[in-house]
Amino acid sequence: MISYDDFAAVDIRVGRITRAEPFPEARKPAIKLWVDFGGEIGEKRSSAQITAHYTPEALLGRQVLAVVNFPPRQIGKVMSEVLVLGVPDAAGEVVLIAPDQPVPLGGKLF
């Protein structure tokens, strides 16, 4: 089990996808994402294996939740700065986690 302090150390924020592109060089099918978290954090890049349910065009403007305090990670030619969160569907394909109402960018999950 983890403590509340362990959970609180994970900084999960809401952002809006401002740009999305196919990532054909990725080992597994993926999409390159640019996510705006508002003034304090700004725009960050990520790569997500979400091609089963999403196209780059359909992602534009969507709000998503992401961990913003992991160290950057090189994924192929992309430096991923945040981890966009999702859960697997019955087939194991990722479904993004998002608020069900519009919320301010940068809002922290708690």
Domain count, the chain: 1
For the chain of 110 residues, list the mean pLDDT of each consecutive stretch of 10: 94 98 91 96 97 97 98 91 98 97 95
Name 5's bridge partners: none
DSSP 26: S
pLDDT on residue 110: 84
- Inside any domain, residue 106: no
**16: domain CATH number?**
2.40.50.140
In angstroms, the CA 102 to CA 99 distance is: 7
Name 73's bridge partners: 80
- Inside any domain, residue 84: yes
Residue span of the structural domain in which 75 resides:
4-96
pLDDT on residue 27: 86
- Inside any domain, residue 102: no
pLDDT on residue 82: 98
pLDDT on residue 55: 97
Run of H or E residues at 6:
helix 4-8
